[in-house]
C-alpha cells in the first residue's frame, strides 16, 4: 500500500530518533538518504530516552508500544520488523501518524530457517541430537525426502514464496494459499489458491507450512479438526503468527503419532511457558522466535542490508513528498 506524504518538509524542523540496535553503518546510510544537515539521533530500544523520543517527528526501529504511546507529535513510525499489530491499536500512535513496516526484508532469513527445521525433522536429526546428549548410539530407522512431496504453504507471500522455492529445488510440489490469487504465479508454486480451498488440500499434503500474517480471522485456525484432517505422518511448520495454532491440539496430534513432527518458531505466549507439554514432545523442534528479526537484532546480514535499503528508500520518499512503501496504517481522521 502506498500513501502520499506531505508535499514539503524542512530538515531543520525534523527530528529522527532511531533505536540503538541499528549499527553505525546503517545509521550512516540513513543519514545519506536525508537532506544535508539532517541528523539521526539514537536511543536505547527497550529503555529509551523519553525526553528525546517525545520530540521525534520520525521514529525508526522497534520501540515498545508503551513508549510510542507518549509520542504525541510523531508523524511517521518506520518499523524494522514485519509485525505491526500492536502499533495500529487505537491510541498507540497519534491519529495523524503513518506506520510502515519492513515487509519483504525477511523472506530469505525466515524461509531458510524453517526449511532447515523441516529437513532436520524429515531426517530425524532432532532425535539423533537427543541421543547424542544421552550418549546413545542407535539407528532410528527410515527417513523422508522432499523429492516428490506435496507441500502446502499457507500464507504465500514474501516468506512463503522463498520457502516454496527451496522446497521446489528439492523436488517438492508446492501449492500456496492466500486471500487473493495474484495475477502472476510466483516462482516455486505450481498453483495459488484462496483460503477456502485449504481444507481439501491438506488431506494429501506431506507438509503444511504456515507463514500467515496476523489476522483475527486466522486465530486458532490450526486446531484439532485441522490436524485431524492432515495426512497421517505429515509435518506441520509455523513461521507466521503464534495465535493461529492451538498448541494443545497440536501436542495431541504429535503424541498420538498422527503427525510425524512439527517445527515452531512463533507462539501465542512468548516465551513458551516452561510447563507447556510441547517442550517434552520428541518430534517437536522449538526455536525462540529467532527465524526473523523479532526485535532489533538481525540474525542474517542480508536481512539487515535489505531493511536498511527499505528504510533509506522511504526516507528519500518522505523528504521528497512521495508515497511511502509498506504502509500498514494511514493517518486517521
What distance in Å separates the CA atoms of residue 246 and residue 253, rounded to the nearest whole number?
A: 11
Give the CA-trace dihedral at 321, 323, 329, 331, to 10 degrees.
40
pTM reported for the whole predicted model: 0.90
At residue 300, the pLDDT reads 86
- Quick check: helix, strand or coil at residue 203? helix
From the CB of residue 63, how many other CB atoms can be counted at a distance below 10 Å? Answer: 24
Q: Which residues contact 68 (CB under 8 A, 6 or more apart)?
A: 59, 74, 77, 87, 92, 93
Q: Which domains does the chain have, with CATH numbers?
A: 11-105+296-329 (3.40.50.720), 107-286 (3.40.50.720)
Which of 178, 186, 237, 227 shows the shortest CA–CA distance to 207?
Answer: 237
At residue 332, the pLDDT reads 80
What does the block give as the cell for 70? Answer: 507518549
What is the full per-residue pLDDT of the chain (333 aa) written as tens digits?
Answer: 333 333 344 445 799 999 999 999 999 999 999 998 888 999 999 999 999 999 999 999 999 999 999 999 999 999 999 989 999 999 999 999 999 999 999 999 999 999 999 999 999 999 999 999 999 999 999 999 999 999 999 999 999 999 999 999 999 999 999 999 999 999 999 999 999 999 999 999 999 999 999 888 999 999 999 999 999 999 999 999 999 999 999 999 999 999 999 999 999 999 999 999 999 999 999 999 999 865 556 788 899 999 999 999 999 999 999 999 999 999 886
Amino acid at each position: 500500500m502506498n500513501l502520499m506524504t506531505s508535499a514539503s518538509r524542512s530538515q531543520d524542523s525534523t527530528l529522527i530518533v532511531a533505536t540503538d540496535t541499528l549499527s553505525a553503518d546503517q545509521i550512516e546510510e540513513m543519514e545519506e538518504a536525508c537532506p544535508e544537515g539532517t541528523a539521526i539521533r539514537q536511543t536505547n530500544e527497550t529503555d529509551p530516552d523519553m525526553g528525546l523520543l517525545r520530540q521525534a517527528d520520525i521514529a525508526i526501529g522497534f520501540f515498545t508500544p508503551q513508549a510510542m504511546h507518549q509520542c504525541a507529535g510523531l508523524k511517521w513510525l518506520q518499523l524494522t520488523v514485519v509485525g505491526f499489530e500492536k502499533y495500529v491499536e487505537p491510541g498507540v500512535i497519534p491519529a495523524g501518524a503513518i506506520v510502515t513496516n519492513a515487509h519483504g526484508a525477511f523472506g530469505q532469513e525466515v524461509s531458510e530457517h524453517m526449511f532447515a527445521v523441516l529437513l532436520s525433522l524429515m531426517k530425524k536429526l532432532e532425535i539423533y541430537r537427543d541421543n547424542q546428549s544421552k550418549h546413545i548410539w542407535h539407528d532410528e530407522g527410515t527417513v523422508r525426502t522432499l523429492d516428490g512431496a506435496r507441500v502446502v504453504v499457507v500464507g504465500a507471500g514474501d516468506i512463503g514464496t522463498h520457502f516454496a522455492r527451496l522446497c521446489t529445488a528439492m523436488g517438492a510440489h508446492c501449492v500456496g494459499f492466500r486471500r487473493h490469487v495474484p495475477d502472476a504465479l510466483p516462482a516455486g508454486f505450481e498453483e495459488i489458491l484462496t483460503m477456502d480451498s485449504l481444507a481439501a488440500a491438506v488431506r494429501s499434503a506431506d507438509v503444511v507450512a504456515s507463514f500467515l500474517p496476523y489476522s483475527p480471522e486466522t486465530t486458532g485456525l490450526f486446531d484439532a479438526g485441522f490436524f485431524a484432517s492432515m495426512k497421517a505422518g505429515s509435518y506441520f511448520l509455523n513461521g507466521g503468527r503464534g495465535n493461529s495454532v492451538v498448541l494443545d491440539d497440536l501436542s495431541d496430534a504429535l503424541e498420538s503419532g498422527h503427525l510425524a513432527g512439527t517445527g515452531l518458531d512463533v507462539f501465542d505466549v512468548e516465551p513458551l511457558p516452561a510447563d507447556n507439554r510441547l517442550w517434552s514432545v520428541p518430534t517437536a523442534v522449538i526455536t525462540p522466535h529467532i527465524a526473523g528479526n523479532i526485535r532489533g537484532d538481525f540474525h542474517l546480514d542480508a536481512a539487515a542490508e535489505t531493511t536498511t535499503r527499505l528504510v533509506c528508500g522511504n526516507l528519500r520518499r518522505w523528504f521528497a513528498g512521495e508515497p511511502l512503501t509498506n504502509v500498514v496504517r494511514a493517518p486517521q481522521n
